Amino acid sequence: MSSRHAARHARVRMMAAVATVCTLSAAPLAPRAVAADTPPYSETYRPQFHFTPEKNWMNDPNGLVYYQGEYHLFYQYNPNGNSWGDMSWGHAVSTDLVHWEQLPLALSHDDQEMVFSGSAVIDRDNSTGFGTKANPAMVAVYTSYRKDTGVQAQSLAYSTDRGRTWTKYQGNPVLDIGSKDFRDPKVQWYAPTRSWLMTVSMSAEHKVRFYSSKNLKDWNLQSEFGPSGATGGVWECPDLFPLAVDGDKKKIKWVLVVNINPGGIAGGSAAQYFVGDFDGTKFTAEDKGTYTPPAGTVVQDFEGTDFGSWTTTGTAFGQAPAAGAVDGQGTVGGFDGTGLANSFHSGDGTTGTLTSPSFTVDSKYLNFKVGGGRHPHVDGTATEQEPPPAGTVLGDFEGGTYGGWTATGDAFGTAPATGTLPDQQKVSGFLGSGLVNSYANGDSGTGTLTSPEFTLDMDYVDFLVGGGDHPAGSDHPTAVELLVDGKVVRSTTGQDDEALDWASWDVKDLAGKQAQVKIVDDNSGGWGHLNVDHVVLSDTRARPVSQETAVNLIVDGKVVRSATGSNSETLDWASFDLRPYAGEQARIQLVDLNTGGWGHVLADRFTTADTPAKSVVQRADWADYGKDYYAAVSWEDAPGGKRYMIGWMNNWDYGGTIPTSPWRGAQSIPRTMGLRTVDGRVRLISQPVNSVRSLWQPHPVSASGVTVEDTSTPLIGPAAQGTTLDIEATFSLQDADRFGLKVRTGADGEETVIGYDTTAQELYVDRTHSGAVDFDSTFPGVQTAPLRAENGKVKLRILVDRSSVEVFGGSGEVAITDQIFPDPASQGVRVFAENGAVRLDEAVVRHLGSAHE
């Protein structure tokens, strides 16, 4: 694993602001200008019934506890900016989990530590001595991150005034094992042993530890759980709680929630869970048995002495199937038989392709095993660097001067570089003999380089960029910025690589405006520099070189399906849905265009079948199948023994680049959790808290008994339109392949599709055309969740806010939470059916008022 990917996996929480995946075609940081006097909570995209701080960055919910009529929501918060940093605990309280009052900062970072995630309890017996039995202390148990060493340990703070003011314990830390990946303690009172129970993550080891204490200060290790289930990323923010199965209080099971990043079901961050038993010392997950993939027809199993009719380019795949690992490679596992395709020949530095003959698609699914690097295919990329687009050159940095560009600081020197600078790794990919290279004084140099003003009279600004991956808006960026009226409206970074590659900004919406390009190096740490060349204003979008390590399905010359490994030498099942391409000619292509860490792909056992194979990740259990539900934890001491859970409504893949200001980050709607037997297995179910109904406005609108066939039509009419809606709908299956509702529909095909696929038996949300999606390549796409119809019917509950949808399927068996950033004018709601008919038994649309009023 390269140091960059190792750092991303091991330091996601600390480095989130600079570890987001940087797109080569960044969208505006704030697509629509917000007037300086815009009242708080009325800004574009501002959620109206999900908690957001008035300003600044927020991520994980922390310290969830109910006390004296108040639900406390603490949260990871940067008091000093709209990007991750200076982690502290923000604070809000609510009496109903819907209307929130933001309170002053609770636990602040200081010169020695940042205050990472944790939990809070009420010390009713005064076991700590921090309060009295008459006035028990609220005690926060948090991870203190030592700035000087990077060590993560568990510490205490306490409050005796209902969480309004806090004192850090002088004996901190109370649990320190010297680890840099030991975090997010969830503490609760365990009555059978009259002791405190801590559930805490050994994040890099994919383990959860359980500790016991009588006084919250002295902790004894009880047991460990894991690795198990999905392990493609770090394990974080664990939670453990009991629930009755099917409402039977005599049948109790325990739920262990383990949030994972990356490697979630929809990519990036997600909330995984296990159902099992807890005996006060040890958690034992239910045995789910072994997995048998669907039977089918083997197309290619790589068991021969050569690739047969499959053809290769380059050298990465060698001349024949590999018999496991090749020279210099770690142990390869998970393949079938004795052979597989392996592009690690001569190491990660080689590239190439392996392509099947053309075939006619006559099966529903193509199942196969894949491993190796997690470098997805990105549409609009090229297989090699292309010539510069035609247009107006704003800077080619030839001739030994910066021309009219203005430099500040010492990073850029007095003139363009002519290639690699002293002590720098080899720089490549620039044009001609000159380029901008801010390594003039090593990574310690800082400064800016700004172009003369120019008119945006073409569709794109294209440029070559390499160097550090430190986004604009982070504490110390290395970024190329587009300024309009002095404000940053576009931004792109390097990818921690000295090779320059094309990046492109779509500036059609800024036509006619005056602009400047500003190259910013404000970073003196690792990869604290940028390489830039050939800035051109053009009507052609430049195509970057693909960095993929992928298995692709190609139809009509286009990649229509793609899968990657998970930065692992162990192969796992993947599946392509072939149904849309029935009767068409297709090819399978294994592609390795990556020369960095994990720059290889493994594949085996291509099999056509009637049902899809499922990967370990797909076979794991998930509290939510969307892109934007992470760090999910639950409240302690809720009235009536209820279990309410909330998650950060964002994803580390793009969390630092979502287009919101002056705040960034929202929490999901709190959910009532339960356990239900579904298809013979006990599953975690969720529904929005009932108090959402307090926001229902008068005069709901409804429709019933409507048959929809091969069309999309407005649901009910203008009365159903809106930006904040609570929709309940029940459909009866007929013969449609897909059906459902489209929300936030508007001009130019803008829509968020919430549908059901009858063949795959899946609920899905498609946000590909949901509004602003191009601020990160991982944002657009389709999220799916397994959902069987009950008695031929599919029930949906949909909460629509100004920048999100939360979809609950059936009786809460599955949920899909996705952020969306539509035009405020996109308010339509439509019902649709594809390739057949469906009956809409009933739909009720309720408008929701603002929780801020």
Cβ atoms of 727 and 841 within 8 Å: the answer is no
Residue 134 CA to residue 154 CA, distance in Å, equals 27
Residue 623 CA to residue 274 CA, distance in Å, equals 10
Q: What is the DSSP letter of 693?
A: G
Cβ atoms of 592 and 317 within 8 Å: the answer is yes
Q: What residues are paired with 677 via a beta bridge?
A: 682
Neighbours of 431 (CB within 10 A): 16
Residue appearing with tokens 């309009």: 484
CA of residue 719 relative to chain centroid, distance: 34
List the one residue out of 502, 491, 500, 503 whose CA is nearest residue 530. Answer: 500
Cβ atoms of 626 and 264 within 8 Å: the answer is no
Residue 237 CA to residue 250 CA, distance in Å, equals 29
Residue 465 CA to residue 519 CA, distance in Å, equals 10
Select which of 60, 521, 653, 757 is catalytic: 60
Cβ atoms of 91 and 663 within 8 Å: the answer is no
Sequence-distant (6+) residues with CB within 8 A of 289 are: none
3-state secondary structure of 473: coil
User: Does the annotation mark 60 as catalytic?
Assistant: yes
Cβ atoms of 550 and 557 within 8 Å: the answer is no
Sequence-distant (6+) residues with CB within 8 A of 661 are: 29, 30, 34, 43, 82
User: Is the preceding omega at residue 79 within 30 degrees of 0, hence cis?
Assistant: no
Neighbours of 614 (CB within 10 A): 18
Neighbours of 638 (CB within 10 A): 17
Cβ atoms of 94 and 101 within 8 Å: the answer is yes
β-strand pairing of 530-538 with 436-437? antiparallel
Residues annotated as catalytic (active site), given as ranges: 60
